[in-house]
Amino acid sequence: MKKFSVKTIVAIGIGAALFFVLGRFVAIPSPVPNTSISVQYGLLAFLSVVYGPIAGALVGFIGHTLIDFSYGWGVWWSWVIASAVFGLLMGLGAKLLKMNETEMGKKGLIKFNIVQLVCHVICWGAVAPVLDILIYNEPLDKLFAQGLVAGVSNAVTTAIVGSLLCVAYAATKTKAGSLTKE
């Protein structure tokens, strides 16, 4: 089993805390009940790509659990699990992106956004609604309306916030050959 570095453990803790703060206090209500436009998924996508699938899953799981718990209605496990799956899938998708090895140019941003879009479709179009049916016996029309709004809004906010974080992170990386004498 691969051990987490101290850096990864700290990233999980800080990431979960930031996920909570963004999801609880920066969420924008949507017209669909119990669904909001959330900016925290851009952060989750970025952290998953940088620190890997397990770290991403833990940030999504812990952060979303804290959000639900803070509202007082109880933890909505289907969506908590969907957030964890999103972090996991984005971390697995990082192998395609190779963010720690290459520069984040247009091609990298396109790959990042294709991966995050596919992950959102899986999580909000399948994982959350199916678990809502299995766990809570929720009505289908409500579930797919919530999933559609969450999926589209999360994909858009991830495209903006996640892309900005990836570009900023890539700018901090030393470029190949930048330290050679001319």
* Closest-CA residue to 124 (of 60, 58, 31): 60
- pLDDT exceeds 90 at position 81: yes
SS3 for 13? Answer: helix
> What is the rounded distance in angstroms from the CA atom of residue 57 to the CA atom of residue 62?
8
Class of 6-171 in CATH: mainly alpha
Q: Are 37 and 27 in contact (CB under 8 A)?
A: yes
CA of residue 73 relative to chain centroid, distance: 23
Per-residue pLDDT at 107: 87
> Average pLDDT of 36-43?
95
Per-residue pLDDT at 157: 97
pLDDT-above-90 percentage for the chain: 71
Q: Are 123 and 78 in contact (CB under 8 A)?
A: no
**pLDDT band at residue 178 using 50, 70 and 90 as cut-offs:** low
- pLDDT exceeds 80 at position 90: yes
**Pairing mode of beta strands 28-29, 36-37:** antiparallel
The model's pLDDT over 113-159, given as tens digits with 9 standing for 90+, comes to 999 999 999 999 999 999 999 999 988 888 888 999 999 999 999 99
> What is the rounded distance in angstroms from the CA atom of residue 89 to the CA atom of residue 130?
17
- Phi and psi at 181, nearest 5°, equal -80, 140
Q: Write the CB contacts of 132 (distance below 8 Å, at least 6 apart in sequence).
A: 78, 79, 138, 143
Would you state the structure tokens that stand for residue 169, as one six-digit string?
């992170």
Beta bridge partner(s), residue 29: 36
Of 4-13, 73-82, 99-108, 129-138, the range with the lowest mean pLDDT is 99-108
The alpha-helical segments, DSSP class H, found in 98-139 are 106-122, 128-131
